[in-house]
A and B are shown apart, each in its own frame.
Chain A
Amino acid sequence: MAEDRKYRWVGTRPIRHDGVDKVTGRANYGADFALPGMLWGKILRSPHAHARILRIDTSRAEAMEGVKAVATAADLPEQRPGGATDLSNNILARDKVLYHGHAVAAVAAITAEIAAQALDEIEIEYEALAPVLSLDAALADDAPILDTARRARGMDDTGPTNIAARVDFSRGEPDQAFASCDVVLERSYETQTVHQGYIEPHACVADTKADGLVEIWCSTQGTFTVRSLTADVLGLDKSRVKVTPSEIGGGFGGKTTVYLEPVAALLSRQSGRPVKMVMSRDEVFRATGPAAASRIELKVGATQQGQLVAATARLWMEAGAFPGSPVQAAAMTILAPYKLDHLFIEGFDVVVTKPKVAAYRAPGAPQAAFAMESLLDELAQQLKIDPIDLRLANAVAAGDQLPYGPRYKTIGMKETLEAARDHPHYSAPLGENQGRGIALGFWFNNGLNSSAEVYLTEDGTAVVVTGNPDIGGSRASMAILCAEELGIDVMKVRPIVADTETAGYTDVTGGSRVTFATGWAVVNACRVIIEDLRRRAAQIWECDLEQVAFDDGRCLPVEGSGLSHDPLSVAEIARKMGSTGGPINGQAQLSARGAGPGFATHLCDVEVDPETGHVDVIRYTAIQDAGRAIHPAYVEGQMQGGAVQGIGWALNEEYLFDDEGRMENASFLDYRMPVASDLPMIDTVIVEVPNPIHPYGVRGVGETPIVPPLAAVANAVKHASGVRMQSLPISPPRLLAALQEQAAE
């Protein structure tokens, strides 16, 4: 249970333990690692978006001086049914290429330049097939089928189809309920393919030893995931693969799978030398997993007083080349924040000839919220109800049932809406061509599996070992939790991120789970130590364990025990470790349950240039329930970062493909993410509705903040310009065209 007490370190803002290394440029990222005798690996990528591979001839490349290994899918083991078939086919295409940039072959050579030249010497004969570049194209009756053997899961046998799966959720009788509504809005919304845009490209070094053991150094969100997926693709026992994480320059979900690591390990096995592979930005765009493009048809019915009655949603999401869009999560989230007696939600996972999508911060939820929160804004306007009041009137609370079954426990949805309503931003005056939008976001958050070890040193300082790459300041949070538990100075705790042979099994840094779940494991490991410290104090004082209490870093006699010893600090006991039972270590592991859902309400002001369609975000406030903020600065950082990524998604980001399926804007110059000067300071308000199950009340915070901005921006644009943009991005040419259309009407 969350404990209500005064904290010494929780809620403070110490500098991050990895900060000095990073700001002085000494921290080592994925591409910084090198080994003696290392080769350079490069990947040959498909020039077609959709083609059959008829023949691959690598002989000329293999014969080149300096080339030490050439690999194709033929060098990978066949996967058993239900195995890592898609993953294997994604990292090296077997029979078909399914997107422009799909990896087909790989080379390792003594220099990067020779490796690049060797790629030109690989001959591949393709039979080009028609690309499938949109949901419409994929779902057309005569659509080219990516995999004719695949059948849609969750549907009666459809025959060959590009629908990989269907899910649905229902409650009540929505069709009948709509008839009783005073107002029913039915709208369609679209979003385009966008990329996470992490600054650091994928990079790794793999060293396959003579006995087949594989060592990998890479930039990843999940070392154990890399271990598992690499072992699966290569057909190895998981204990035969060791993964050591570098520092990570952003991931946002995009570094939760593998692209290079198994290929580098394969090339290393073939050449007998370590192999380094680093993607270019172009490769990152063309061949790693973006976020899914979507279409959502949404119908919502309400009473004149603003009571939501019924809703139906049909969602289609592009999975890219292989099944696995986040359409299920989108379907589960789209109506989750609102009380609805009647609903029907149907989602379709659709394959297209684009790169296979990967997770991107709250996968599926931003697209879903764009639809629902845009529609609610329109409903509020139509009913002449304040948009926050409309949401408050329909907000879920503890005990309400989610569309997919479970019931909410303690949540902070209403609290974030009320904080938004009461914030000075909400009532601040607006100028000409300016408008304000609000939107709400929901995300499940996740728990999963974590381990932690805490080692006390002989001077009473501590080392905290976990297996989660630190992507958002989590080392600082682990240190704070340890310092709070043991009552020692936070800067005397050294939090480290360990490799897969040093840390116990730990799931990926994702799902907003690290501070929640791994932090919880750290707390439990510290509590093991505290028990041990009490035992040692009892040994020193020659008293019973029950007579020793632990408080604020000291063992002291329990009040009323009759003992009058001076308290023993952690450091004092640590110095006596040899004579009280040996080293003082705590270890804990858990499958963390009860990750409380996150809610956020965002306020966005924009100014629209009516002559150019340019949208300037002039004020932005992100309000979120963090349960309890362990390190508020990094909670705020997550809220700001998520808001900014969502603003980019709303305004300018999109993959542009030519008719052949070649991405036209595979660079940061033309894939237009926001830059710092595009944005105002993102103001933040942390709301704290403690998660009752967690010892410190923590809820995940990393993903929720990307959920509201798409609709917050679109709603603001509507109120600034009169135009409601139901298709993203709201780029200047699109908005200007819409403004001109409005003027013509």
Chain B
Amino acid sequence: MQRSFERPQTLEQAIGLLEKHGDAARPLAGGTDLLVQMRAGLLRPAVLVDLKGIEELMSLELGADEVVIGAAHSTASLRENADLVALFPGLLEAAELIGSEQIQGRASLGGNLCNGSPAADTGPALAVVQAVCEIAGPNGRRTLPVAEFLTGPGATALGVGEILVSLRISRPPARAADAYLRFIPRTEMDIAVVGAGAWVRLEADGSCAEARLSLGAVGPTVLPVALDALVGGPIDDAALATAGEAASAAARPIDDKRGTIAYRRQVSGVLARRALRIAADRAAQRS
């Protein structure tokens, strides 16, 4: 089969190529999912459109109000940015879990998101910091919250010719911080049995002002867990237990080779508690 490789230098060229070739084309960021799927014979795209020549997808901007992360910017490079790590430790925890050291030289937040895996580590981590997806396509630009960008296993809201350009995240307010935990039987090189992103904002008196929790790998897409019950009270063992129960109840896992329904439900609650505690501790340190 003939296969062509394109490396456009502008978004317009890339959009044009994707629009022209439709289903026969695949955008290529780090390729850490795409190339594996091609080698396994699951995908046989005729045209590969390498997006790494487009500056906007490779950029990283720490602005006064928001952080803009190019969709194809490598996770290894994100990790090396101490300011970014300090701002969103949870998001970087998630990024650090994607693949091995070598893979991370290629892997990107945008690529991980666009792959649409229900078990992706970036989904819950980006959802709790309310990241917004900046999308460019034949009809111009639009934005979508991460939670709406992910629509199901392997599916995203991207239309034909559309490209995820960047992720925009507001700088955290005072006394707020994120955290991400995932459960795998090993310590790395594995796929989440359960993933939990947490975000906590505290009042000056240490009580909970806002709490967000999103679960991965226990539903068709990122699963938000409502934590209204925590607001106004202290984030103590009782509150965390409540949050854990809410997470277990919200989880809608399947049985598969990576874990059973009962196991994933149980671990959803455990990770929810632990991630919220880490986020709350971090938030407290930011007072």
Does a CB–CB distance below 8 Å link A and B in the complex? Answer: yes
Of A611, A669, A672, most B-chain CB atoms within 10 Å: A611
A612-B183 contact, Cβ under 8 Å, with A733-B260, A736-B266: yes
Complex: A613 Cα to B266 Cα, angstroms = 11
Q: Are B186 and A674 in contact (CB under 8 A)?
A: yes
12 CB contacts below 8 A, A to B, read A282-B40, A611-B270, A612-B270, A651-B185, A652-B186, A664-B257, A668-B189, A677-B186, A677-B188, A733-B260, A733-B263, A736-B263
In angstroms, Cα B190 to Cα A651, docked, is 15
Known contacts A614-B183, A733-B263, A737-B262; 12 further A-B pairs (Cβ under 8 A): A611-B266, A612-B266, A612-B267, A652-B186, A664-B257, A669-B191, A672-B190, A677-B186, A677-B187, A678-B186, A732-B185, A733-B260
- Whole-angstrom distance between the alpha carbons of A652 and B183 in the complex? 14
Q: Tell me whether A732 and B263 are in contact (CB under 8 A).
A: yes
Q: Which 3 A-B pairs have the closest CB atoms?
A: A733-B263, A677-B187, A611-B270
CA distance A17 to B191 in the complex (A): 39
Complex Cα distance A733/B265, Å?
Answer: 11
The residues of B with any CB-CB pair to A shorter than 8 Å are 1, 40-41, 183, 185-191, 193, 257-260, 262-263, 266-267, 270
The interface residues of chain B lying within 8 Å CB-to-CB of A125 are none
Q: Which residues of B contact A116 (CB under 8 A)?
A: 41
Question: With a CB–CB cut-off of 8 A, which chain A residues contact B191?
Answer: 669-670
Interface residues of A in 346-367 (CB under 8 A from B): none
Residue of A nearest to B271 (CB): A612
| CB interface residues, A 689-745, toward B, < 8 Å | 731-733, 736-737
- CB 8 Å contact bits of A657-693 with B (1 = contact, 0 = none): 0000000110011101011011000000000000000
Whether the pair B188, A614 counts as a contact (CB closer than 8 A) is no
Pair B257/A675 contact, Cβ less than 8 Å: no
Residue numbers in A under 8 Å from B257 (CB-CB): 656, 664-665, 670
Minimum Cβ distance to chain B for residue A310 (Å)? 39
Q: Which one of A613, A656, A678, A737 contacts B187 once the chains associate, using CB atoms below 8 Å?
A: A678
A675 partner residues in chain B, CB cutoff 8 A = 186-189
- Cβ of A670 and Cβ of B187 under 8 Å apart? no
Which residue in chain A gives the minimum CB-CB distance to B39? A280
Could you list which residues of chain A lie within 8 angstroms of chain B, going by C-beta atoms?
Answer: 113, 116, 282, 611-614, 651-652, 656, 664-665, 668-670, 672, 674-675, 677-678, 731-733, 736-737
Which B-chain residue is minimally distant from A669 (CB atoms)? B191
A669, B188: Cβ atoms closer than 8 Å: no
Question: Which of chain B's residues have a CB closer than 8 A to the CB of A656?
Answer: 257
Inter-chain contacts of B185 with A (CB < 8 A)? 614, 651-652, 672, 731-732
Q: Which residue, B183, B189, B193, has most C-beta atoms of chain A within 10 A?
A: B189
CB nearest to B183 among chain A residues: A612
How far apart are the CA atoms of A733 and B187 in the complex, in Å?
A: 16
Chain A contacts for B189, CB-based, 8 A = 668-669, 675
Instruction: Give every chain B residue within 8 A of A731 (Cβ-Cβ).
Output: 185
Expressed in whole angstroms, the Cα–Cα distance for A665 and B256 within the complex equals 10
> Please, which residue of chain A has its CB at the minimum distance from the CB of B270?
A611
Enumerate chain A residues within 8 angstroms of B260, measured Cβ to Cβ. Answer: 733
Q: How far is the CA of A674 from the CA of B184 in the complex (A)?
A: 12
CB distance from A724 to the nearest CB of B (A): 20
Chain A residues with CB under 8 A of B186: 652, 672, 674-675, 677-678
Q: Which listed residue (A612, A670, A737) contacts B258, Cβ 8 A?
A: A670
CA distance A614 to B182 in the complex (A): 12
A733 touches B259 (CB 8 A): yes
B260 to chain A, nearest CB (A): 6
Nearest-neighbor residue (CB-CB) of A282 within chain B: B40
Chain B residues with CB under 8 A of A613? 263
- Which residues of the other chain, B, contact A669 by a CB distance below 8 angstroms? 189-191
Could you say which residues of chain A place their CB within 8 Å of the CB of B1? 113
Q: How far is the CB of B205 from chain A (nearest CB, A)?
A: 30
Interface centre among B186, B187, B258, B266 (most CB of A within 10 A): B186
- Residues of chain A contacted by B41 (CB below 8 angstroms): 116
With A and B bound together, what is the CA distance between A714 and B61 in angstroms?
50
Smallest beta-carbon distance B22→chain A, Å? 24
Chain B: minimal CB distance from A582 (Å): 54
Question: How far does the alpha carbon of A614 sit from the alpha carbon of B259 in the complex, in Å?
Answer: 13
Give complex CA distance A733, B191 in Å.
15
State how many angstroms separate the Cβ of B107 from the closest Cβ of chain A: 15
A665 to B263, CA, bound (A): 19
Q: Which B residues are in CB contact (< 8 Å) with A677?
A: 186-188
CB distance from B231 to the nearest CB of A (A): 25
Question: Measured between alpha carbons, how far is A732 from B263 in the docked complex, in Å?
Answer: 9
Greatest chain A CB density within 10 A among B190, B260, B262 is at B190
A675 to B186, CA, bound (A): 7
In the complex, A282→B42 CA distance in Å? 14
Chain A contacts for B267, CB-based, 8 A: 611-612, 732
Q: A652: which B residues are within 8 A, CB to CB?
A: 185-186
In the complex, residue of chain B having the shortest beta-carbon distance to the beta carbon of A667 = B40
* Chain B residue, CB-CB nearest to A733: B263
Please give the distance in Å from B193's CB to the nearest CB on chain A.
8
- Name A113's closest neighbour in chain B (CB-CB): B1
- Whole-angstrom distance between the Cβ of A103 and the nearest chain B Cβ: 18
A489 to chain B, nearest CB (A): 38
Residues from chain A with a CB closer than 8 A to the CB of B188 are 675, 677
Inter-chain CA distance A168–B191, complex, in Å, is 45
Q: With the chains together, A614 CA to B40 CA distance in Å?
A: 31
CB closest residue in chain B, given A117: B1
Min distance, Cβ A642 to any Cβ of chain B, angstroms: 19
Give Cα A611–Cα B266 distance, bound, in whole angstroms: 8
In the complex, A675→B100 CA distance in Å? 10
| Bound-complex Cα distance A656 to B256 (A) | 10
- Which residues of chain A come closer than 8 Å to B263, judged between CB atoms? 613, 732-733, 736-737
Which single residue of chain B is at the shortest CB-CB distance from A610?
Answer: B270
Q: Which residue of A lies closest to B260 (CB)?
A: A733
A665 vs B191: C-alpha distance when bound (angstroms): 13
**Shortest distance between the CB of A279 and any CB in chain B (Å):** 14
Closest Cβ of chain A: how far from B270's Cβ, in Å? 4
Distance A614 CA – B187 CA, assembled complex (angstroms) = 10
Chain B contacts for A664, CB-based, 8 A: 257
Give the distance to chain B from A626, nearest Cβ to Cβ, in Å: 30
Chain B residues with Cβ below 8 Å from A113 are 1
Which A residue sits closest to B194, measured CB to CB? A612
**CA A652 to CA B190, docked complex, whole Å:** 12
